[in-house]
A and B are shown apart, each in its own frame.
Chain A
Amino acid sequence: MSKIANEVLIIKLGDQFAGQVTELSQDYGMLSVETGVEQISEVLAYLKNDPELKFIFLTDITAVHYPELEKPIGVIYHLHSLTTNTRIRVKVFLAGDNVHIPTATTLWNGANWMERETYDFFGVIFDGHPDLRRILNVDDMTVFPMRKEFPLEDPNRIDKKDYFFGR
């Protein structure tokens, strides 16, 4: 089967979730949409179970931190429809003081470790996850190291500041 056109995807999502799923971009041909934390479970279930779409394969879950935004933590899902070879990216942005989002382990077993990794690095709490613990970092770590407020370099070093390089 041929690829599902992004326009078709947008129309189908619009029909199903009027106003609750918004298009963000179509960079490099991949449709990227945003939805809210209340709808994410339904959106993922719809994308997976709809007989025409069949995004049955969960490629990846991760997050991005944008400290300057009102909702700074973006949780990113990459789904893949293996029958039509179409990919879609679904984003949910979370407020800094409320980083709860429903788990996707009810839909895919594979979401388990991906969510644990996202929790480990960004502190996103996946409600309903069967075993939400740190996975790569040590258990007694108190911070979520991939957030932007934790710089990699020693903050006391000044020799690598951007203004020395005209930036």
Chain B
Amino acid sequence: MQNHPVYTDNDPQSEYSTLNLGPTHPATHGVFQNVLQMDGERIVSGVSTIGYIHRAFEKIAEHRPFYQITPLTDRLNYCSSPINNMGWHMTVEKLLGIQMPKRVDYMRVIIMELARIADHIICNGVLGVDTGAFTGFLYMMEYREDIYEIYEEICGSRLTTNIGRIGGFERNFNTIAFNKIRAFTKKFPAGLKEFESLFNRNRIFVDRTRDVAAVTAEDALSYSWTGPILRAAGVDYDVRAMEPYSSYEDFDFEVPVGENGDVYNRFLVRNEEMWQSLRIIEQALDKLEKEPSDIFHADVPAFYLPPKEEVYNNMEALIYHFKIVMGEVETPTSEVYHSVEGANGELGFYLVNDGGRSPYRLHFRRPSFINYQMYAPMSRGMLLSDAIINMSSLNVIAGELDA
């Protein structure tokens, strides 16, 4: 897993000290603790402790109607909330057998890819910060801001978006939203190019990241890794390409794959994914123009929560609104697993339904939780400064880790 020598407890030359990295430390990017046994600057062994912000989402979900679970998903990976939202809605749609209009699929793809870009911006920006380069992070904040403004235009919210509905969107994207998306696709390439040129051949950055925390494809698969960190290790697995959902099969994009799974490769894979996301968004915008502009949800009144104006002015909508909110709609007794490609990897929803107003059981397959478990074993023998960079390259989000 790593090339550094690993010292043992019996080594008479060594004197170990214990270092608490976290729970709240600027370099841990969230609330999780690593108790490290140190031999000078080198890590001899480590134990990870998580669960500091565990909020019992799975238990809460068993007591809520389907719609009220969406805000829980927002708070898993809050750097890319829309992907979580859409993933949950798609799971319910799969359960209910709802077929989506193409235009809604494309709108969702746009939002999900924007969310992926926002997430990767933060991850790669922070990776720069951890190697001592603050500039890239500051430059890229502007683009994350642009994306948040697009969310705001669509759903009124920026971070925990609650975007969309079961069956589509709460409202159509307005002209301003489309203009902002178009403007972003025009503006972002220059910024990303600048960001790449700041880092890709920067001697300090390359020296700090290349061959650091390199993981083989076998190890990555054995630890059930998914997402950019698995692809950086050379495994070509992307849910969007392998099991296309929401019309991803209509788009032309590549799945970037790394070579030796080190921190540098993870950085490059995420950068390349941003280019691919941009490519998908542009295609989706073109495809949207060929679809009727007034469709923004499927025709399933029994499940689609009607927009507020309709609830106020239309008796049918009011009745459906009441039935949906009270959980009076009939749902099949069945179980379903659906997964989407989150920014960190495969985000899966395992939903067991007994026909009641809430799921009988809902389990989130959270990529951060699964990706992070290799952190302590892979840190053995590593320098502390490398372990810090390794953590930022894994992009572990505490909300998703603890759920």
Contacts and interface: CB of A to CB of B under 8 A. Distances in A.
A108 B224 contact: yes
B224 A57 contact: yes
Interface string B365-377: 1000110011001
Contact of B337 (A56, A89, A146): A89
A60 interface: yes
B94 A28 contact: yes
Contact of B373 (A57, A112, A167): A112
A110 B224 contact: yes
A129 interface: no
A110 B370 contact: yes
Interface residues of A, number: 39
A152 B59 contact: yes
Contacts, number: 91
Interface stretch (B50-58, B156-164, B293-301): B50-58
B334 interface: yes
A17 B5 CA distance: 45
B16 interface: no
Given A108-B222, A114-B370, A146-B58, A152 B350 contact: no
Interface string A150-167: 001100000000000101
A136 B337 contact: no
B51 A137 contact: yes
B242 interface: yes
Interface of A: 25, 27-28, 30, 32, 56-60, 62, 64-65, 76, 78, 82, 85, 87, 89, 108-114, 117, 121, 134-138, 145-146, 152-153, 165, 167
29 contacts: A27-B335, A28-B337, A57-B221, A59-B339, A60-B363, A64-B361, A76-B350, A78-B365, A82-B235, A87-B337, A109-B377, A110-B223, A110-B225, A110-B370, A110-B373, A114-B224, A117-B369, A121-B58, A134-B51, A135-B51, A136-B50, A136-B51, A136-B403, A137-B51, A137-B54, A146-B58, A152-B60, A152-B62, A165-B326
